[in-house]
Amino acid sequence: MSEHDMKLVVVGAAGRMGQTIIRVIQQTPGVKLHAAVERETSAFIGKDAGELAGAGFVGVPVTSDPLEAFLHADGVIDFSSPASTVNFAGLAAQARIVHVIGTTGCSEADEEKILAAARHARVVKSGNMSLGVNLLGVLAEQAARALPASGWDIEVLEMHHKHKVDAPSGTALLLGEAAAKGRGIALKEHSVRVRDGHTGAREAGTIGFATLRGGSVIGEHSVILAGEGELVTLSHSAQDRSIFARGAVAAALWAHPQKPGFYTMLDVLGLNH
Ligand SMILES: NC(=O)C1=CN([C@@H]2O[C@H](COP(=O)(O)OP(=O)(O)OC[C@H]3O[C@@H](n4cnc5c(N)ncnc54)[C@H](OP(=O)(O)O)[C@@H]3O)[C@@H](O)[C@H]2O)C=CC1
Ligand SMILES: O=C(O)C1=N[C@H](C(=O)O)C[C@H](O)C1
């Protein structure tokens, strides 16, 4: 470890992603764990963050005070919940530091507050921090551009573990947005997020979403382009949460020298053409 390492705070430190991120920080040159934050009511307050994550003792006790944690930090990695992410965005803006946001399920009002915070913080936000999914988004955009809407229907299918609380997943929406971009349409006006009962025939030009939940599935996503007599399926399968954590740490390092603003993983990965 060096004194020049980027000092990172992990919020939601005891969560599935929080623990994975702490382990990845311990393995990544150029970054160090500065603080780990959980709710005041968490049973993990005061426990060593490294031991909690199965990474061995690191000398960083879990705290419930984000203000103090952000004070001398360079960046925050945040996979928590929409309400807490909006709160952390305000604090990261005050501290003028990097805020990497993996939290999904944010409302439009939440997104506006995060955008406002990005006037002062360097925010990187994505529904999926993995290289593979971001490449899949680029491919979905290309496929949607190449195949005419009159003959090809687009459906996004996802499956996640039984603990997931938001639907469609952030990744499904990212992929839907990419396909909509390829088609030159606004996703909001053309998406079908639920089907139930006598729905009538499928409306041409819409982008449909289907959600499955169960077991311990980390994340399965497919973009299906359905034509007359043929299907094109583009898919990604997450086999380990470290793909998201590695992406988030890479995003923090990338954002450190950038100007304040709102960025996505496409910027980080150089896929934003
Ligand atoms: N963009 C990406 O690549 C990925 C995004 N995600 C997203 O990340 C988020 C977290 O996922 P996951 O780790 O599975 O969820 P978990 O529920 O396991 O973890 C979330 C953690 O955040 C904590 N938390 C919530 N509110 C606060 C708060 N105000 N202060 C401090 N800690 C808080 C929770 O505590 P408590 O249990 O007490 O509420 C919990 O420990 C989800 O939105 C998920 O969709 C997940 C994987 C990849
Ligand atoms: O909640 C999860 O677990 C995941 N959430 C993200 C999403 O909503 O797409 C990313 C990943 O698929 C895992």
Q: What is the pLDDT of residues 148-188, one digit of tens each?
A: 999 999 999 999 999 999 999 999 999 999 999 999 999 99
Q: Report the mean per-residue pLDDT for the chain.
A: 97
Q: What is the pLDDT of residues 104-126, one digit of tens each?
A: 999 999 999 999 999 999 999 99
Structure tokens at 273: 């053409």
Whether residue 40 is annotated as binding a ligand: the answer is: no
Q: What is the pTM (predicted TM-score) of this model?
A: 0.98
CB 57 within 8 A of CB 31: no
- Phi-psi group of 105: left, alpha or beta (phi > 0 → left; psi -120 to 50 → alpha; rest → beta): left
- pLDDT for position 272: 87
Quote ipTM for the complex: 0.99
- pLDDT for position 236: 98
Give the helix, strand, coil percentages of the chain, each rounded to 5: 35, 25, 40
Q: 2 falls in which pLDDT band (50, 70, 90)?
A: confident
- pLDDT for position 270: 95
CB 106 within 8 A of CB 78: no
Q: What is the pLDDT of residues 244-253, one digit of tens each?
A: 999 999 999 9
Determine the distance separating the centroid of ligand 2 and the alpha carbon of 3, expressed in angstroms. Answer: 34
Angle at 178 between CA 77 and CA 262, to 5 degrees: 35
Q: What is the pLDDT of residues 64-101, one digit of tens each?
A: 999 999 999 999 999 999 999 999 999 999 999 999 99
Q: What is the pLDDT of residues 128-155, one digit of tens each?
A: 999 999 999 999 999 999 999 999 999 9
What are the two backbone dihedrals, phi and then psi, of residue 138, each rounded to the nearest 5 degrees?
A: -60, -40
Q: What is the pLDDT of residues 207-241, one digit of tens each?
A: 999 999 999 999 999 999 999 999 999 999 999 99
Ligand 1 atom with the smallest distance to the CA of 18 is 13
- pLDDT for position 169: 98
Determine the distance separating the centroid of ligand 1 and the alpha carbon of 81, expressed in angstroms. Answer: 5
- pLDDT for position 85: 98
Q: Which residues pair with 78 in a beta bridge?
A: 11, 101
CB 14 within 8 A of CB 46: no
Q: Which residues pair with 210 in a beta bridge?
A: 157
CB 120 within 8 A of CB 167: no
CB 241 within 8 A of CB 17: yes
Whether residue 127 is annotated as binding a ligand: the answer is: yes
Residue nearest to atom 19 of ligand 1 (CA): 15
Which ligand ends up closest to the CA of 36?
Answer: 1
Whether residue 128 is annotated as binding a ligand: the answer is: yes
Residue nearest to atom 4 of ligand 2 (CA): 219
- pLDDT for position 273: 73
1 pLDDT higher than 90: no
User: Could you tell me which of 34, 255, 258, 24 has the C-alpha nearest to residue 124?
Assistant: 255
- pLDDT for position 3: 85
Structure tokens at 267: 């910027």
